[in-house]
Structure formats: structure tokens, C-alpha cells
């Protein structure tokens, strides 16, 4: 999420991996919209394998599965569980709340110190 010169990337850590971050939240939204992991991957210009690995990591990190899959070789599909919908909503709410950081004196002071563009590199 880009807020002026500030880029926020919220990630929830789980062991050595990440239970949730912006890309995983996007995958959940795409699964909800398209009804399958492969269609979600296509919508996000991501391989099925990559989308599946993200779903697998989320399902292993959360106490309840976020995505349920049905076998079927393309006919089965996937859907968000109630826990998946709740986790996605909480993550998006956290993103929105974190945007309030730009309404602080510290942010304004730091942003005010920036140039509009970096100086060219020294030759």
C-alpha cells in the first residue's frame, strides 16, 4: 500500500514464513471472486503452483483453514471458509488502520525531509 512517499507492507509472521501479507490477501480475494485457485492465479498473473503454495502456507499457519478445495481436476474449485473471510476482513481492516500513520507529526517531519526525486548517481 503506497501512501505518498511511504510504502507499507504488513506481513503476519508464522515461524520462518508469513501467514498473511498483501499478496496472500489478494489471492484470497481472487479465490472468492473466481471460485478456484487456478482462476485466481490467472487473474493475478500468477502460476497455479505459486497460488497453491500461498494458499497452502496460509492454511498451515492459521488455526483454521482459510481455503477449502474440492477435488475435480479443474471442476472442483476452491472457496474461502468462514475463517478465511474473517482473516481477510481483519487483514484489510488492519491495512486501512495503518494508513492513519500518515496523519502523524513524525510522518510529516520525515516526508518533509525528502526530495521529490533522488539526485543522480555520482560518476
Residues 68, 28: contact at Cβ < 8 Å? no
Q: Give every CB contact of residue 42 below 8 A, 6+ residues apart in sequence.
A: 34
The pTM of the full predicted model, rounded to 2 decimals, is 0.85
Please report which residue ranges of 1-123 form alpha helices under DSSP H: 22-34, 37-43, 48-61, 82-98, 105-112
CATH number, domain 10-104: 1.10.10.10
| C-alpha closest to that of 23 among 63, 57, 64 | 57
Q: Which residues of the chain, if any, have pLDDT below 50?
A: none
pLDDT at 1: 76
Q: Residues 59, 65: contact at Cβ < 8 Å?
A: yes
Q: What's the pLDDT tens digit per position in 62-91?
A: 999 999 998 765 566 999 999 999 999 999
Amino acid at each position: 500500500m503506497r501512501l505518498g512517499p511511504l510504502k507499507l507492507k504488513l506481513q503476519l509472521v508464522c515461524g520462518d514464513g508469513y501467514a498473511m501479507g498483501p499478496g496472500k490477501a489478494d489471492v484470497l480475494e481472487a479465490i472468492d471472486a473466481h471460485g478456484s485457485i487456478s482462476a485466481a492465479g490467472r487473474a493475478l498473473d500468477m502460476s497455479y503452483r505459486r497460488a497453491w503454495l500461498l494458499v497452502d502456507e496460509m492454511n498451515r499457519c492459521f488455526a483454521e483453514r482459510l481455503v477449502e478445495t474440492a477435488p475435480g481436476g479443474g471442476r472442483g474449485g476452491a472457496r474461502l471458509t468462514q475463517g478465511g473471510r474473517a482473516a481477510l476482513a481483519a487483514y484489510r481492516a488492519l491495512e486501512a488502520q495503518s494508513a492513519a500513520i500518515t496523519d502523524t507529526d513524525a510522518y510529516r517531519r520525515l516526508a518533509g525531509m525528502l526530495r521529490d526525486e533522488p539526485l543522480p548517481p555520482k560518476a
